[in-house]
Amino acid sequence: MGSKAMIWRQRIGYGAADLSCNLIWQMITLYLLFYYTDVAGLAAAHVSLLFLLTRFVDGITDILMGVAIDKTNTRWGKSRPYFLIGAIPFGLLAVLTFLVPDVGETGKLIYAYITYIGLSAAYTMVNIPMASILPSLTSNANERTTLATVRIIFSLIGATAVSALTLPMVNALGGGSQAQGFFWTMLIFAVIGMLLFFFTFKNVEEKVKIKRQKVTLKTSFSGLKGNKPWYIFMINIIFMWGSYFLQQATLIYFFTYHIGRADLASIIATISSFVPLFGTLMTPFFARLMYKRTLFMIASAVNLAGIVVMLISNVNVTGLIIGAVIAASGYGLRQAIYFSMQADPVDYGEWKTGINASGLMMALNGFMGKLTFALAGALSGLLLTWGRYVPNQAQPDSALFAIKLGYLIIPAVLVVLSMVTMCFYNLDKIYPKIRAELDERYQKDETDDHQTAL
């Protein structure tokens, strides 16, 4: 019984980290572009450039974070210490990002660059370890899927809370001022997020013994050579997350201006965050019946079907809601199996090269995800500019078409490209053999170390 309690304590502790991330990052995904353009008064083109340049800075911080994890050896492990170190900077910079002062266009833009780049670096400090720690929490493939599922469930709880509560909280706390409303809302989410990371630090443990190596940047990169499953996984990040991020960035514009129902933005955002819970809960069951890639493809097809239903529905609210439910169901299943799959190329790389480069690999995955987020944000801003969007006014047909492109048409194309890419991912078939050989190596290393000590 105690053993089961320990297992669940770790699962909940691991999931709490993604709950924290989503309380803050879902605010960034859903509302930061809107906050910058419609509340802070920054030009959409300037915000697009900000998003893009920030991600290139992230490329440096992500790689440095990955190498730092690979070099870290403490009594708490390699990844776990960063939950404690990064919690307060993450929360503080989140609040500052939604506190743009009225210091003129140039001053506001400089402030936005400083705070948003700082927040992205703090996010790297807590989010990369959340991915890199998974192979060290357990070597059991089914438990990894369960951990990834719990993580996604908690992430969706956080995303649902932000989707459902943010705009009502902004209205209630702002006293008629959206600027004040967004500040107080983010402050509440940030405090909760910091406490959750402290909880995660206390309740996870790196149990899988990994042979300590003297790791250099060159060594870490050599551990990526010939890792075809990881290369495919990296490419897929662009298409899979590009579809999601682009929809999130344009959702509020689509329902405010294209449908003319700003109140539906919160409803659809809540559906997009809450409904995936049901697909996610079923992931461990389905993962025992089929290969992970097969499950990923089925989930992607369901997600695509939902987007197509929304596209066909045009301005029909019932059709849009039905489509959103279908799309969200596929998204939940796909996201959960994606995070379970993410740990497997780490084992493949160690099996092939003898080097465990989990820190660098997850850092590069994180960088690709952030770059995709930036490209989606930049594309959203460019589409608005191209369509001649003007904040808080009736929009021309060109702007409405640009918004529709960003919310439905381009995301559908990206889901198709994601499915095509994953057709080339074949790690599932040989993974049991890889895991067994790695376990044999670990056992031999422990035996050798014990004999040397004697």
pLDDT tens digits, 390-406: 777 788 889 889 999 99
Furthest CA-CA distance within the chain: 80
Average pLDDT over residues 369-374: 81
Taking CA 52 as the corner, what is the angle to CA 50 and CA 53, rounded to the nearest 5 degrees? 70
Nearest to 134 by CA among 381, 356, 405: 356
Q: How many CB atoms lie within 10 A of CB 138?
A: 18
pLDDT value of position 105? 87
Judge contact between 343 and 144, C-beta under 8 A.
Answer: yes
Name the percent of the chain lying above pLDDT 90: 40
Q: What is the pLDDT of residues 6-19, one digit of tens each?
A: 889 999 999 999 99
Q: From the centroid of its chain, how far is CA 337?
A: 13
Q: Which residues pair with 74 in a beta bridge?
A: 77
Average pLDDT over residues 415-422: 96
C-alpha to C-alpha distances, 365 to 54, 232, 238, 306, nearest whole angstrom = 16, 11, 10, 27
pLDDT value of position 185? 96
pLDDT of 25 over the 70 cut = yes
Judge contact between 179 and 39, C-beta under 8 A.
Answer: yes
pLDDT value of position 306? 96
User: Would you list the DSSP string of 221-241?
Assistant: HHTTTT-HHHHHHHHHHHHHH
Nearest to 357 by CA among 230, 204, 183, 167: 230
Residue where the block lists tokens 């047909």: 397
pLDDT value of position 395? 82
3-state SS assignment for residue 74: strand
* Angle between helical axes of 344-353 and 358-386 (0-180°, round to 10): 130
pLDDT of 211 over the 60 cut = no
What is the spatial distance between Cα 323 and Cα 303, in angstroms, rounded to a whole number?
9
pLDDT value of position 5? 84
Q: Which residues pair with 77 in a beta bridge?
A: 74
Higher pLDDT, 250 or 308: 308
Taking CA 281 as the corner, what is the angle to CA 372 and CA 191, rounded to the nearest 5 degrees? 60
What is the spatial distance between Cα 122 and Cα 127, in angstroms, rounded to a whole number?
9
What end-to-end distance do the CA atoms of the chain give, in Å?
35
Q: What is the dihedral of CA 204, 208, 212, 216, to 10 degrees?
A: -70
pLDDT value of position 214? 57
Domains (ranges, CATH) in the chain?
A: 2-203+219-436 (1.20.1250.20)
pLDDT of 454 over the 60 cut = no
Q: What is the pLDDT of residues 254-301, one digit of tens each?
A: 998 888 888 888 888 888 878 888 887 888 888 888 899 999 999 999
pLDDT value of position 216? 63
Nearest to 388 by CA among 49, 40, 43, 36: 43
C-alpha to C-alpha distances, 158 to 21, 182, 376, nearest whole angstrom = 8, 17, 21
Contacts of 453 (CB under 8 A, 6+ apart): none
Confidence grade of residue 339 (pLDDT, cut at 50, 70, 90): confident
Higher pLDDT, 342 or 154: 154
pLDDT value of position 209? 64
Q: What is the pLDDT of residues 217-248, one digit of tens each?
A: 677 677 778 889 889 999 999 999 999 999 98
Q: Which two tokens stand for residue 394?
A: 């009736």
Higher pLDDT, 310 or 353: 310
Q: Helices (DSSP H) in 255-396: which residue ranges?
A: 263-274, 276-287, 292-313, 317-341, 344-353, 358-386
Judge contact between 69 and 78, C-beta under 8 A.
Answer: yes
Q: Which two tokens stand for residue 327?
A: 């799309």
Q: From the centroid of its chain, how far is CA 45?
A: 24
pLDDT of 212 over the 60 cut = no
pLDDT value of position 452? 56
74: phi then psi, degrees, rounded to nearest 5: -125, 170
Q: Is 44 exposed, middle or buried (0-12, 13-18, 19+ CB in 10 A)?
A: buried
pLDDT value of position 140? 80
Tell me which H or E stretch contains 131.
Answer: helix 104-132
Confidence grade of residue 1 (pLDDT, cut at 50, 70, 90): very low
Residue where the block lists tokens 């109140």: 263
pLDDT value of position 434? 87
Mean pLDDT of all residues belonging to the chain:
87
Q: What is the pLDDT of residues 112-140, one digit of tens each?
A: 999 999 999 999 899 889 888 887 888 78
Higher pLDDT, 22 or 273: 22
Judge contact between 246 and 414, C-beta under 8 A.
Answer: yes
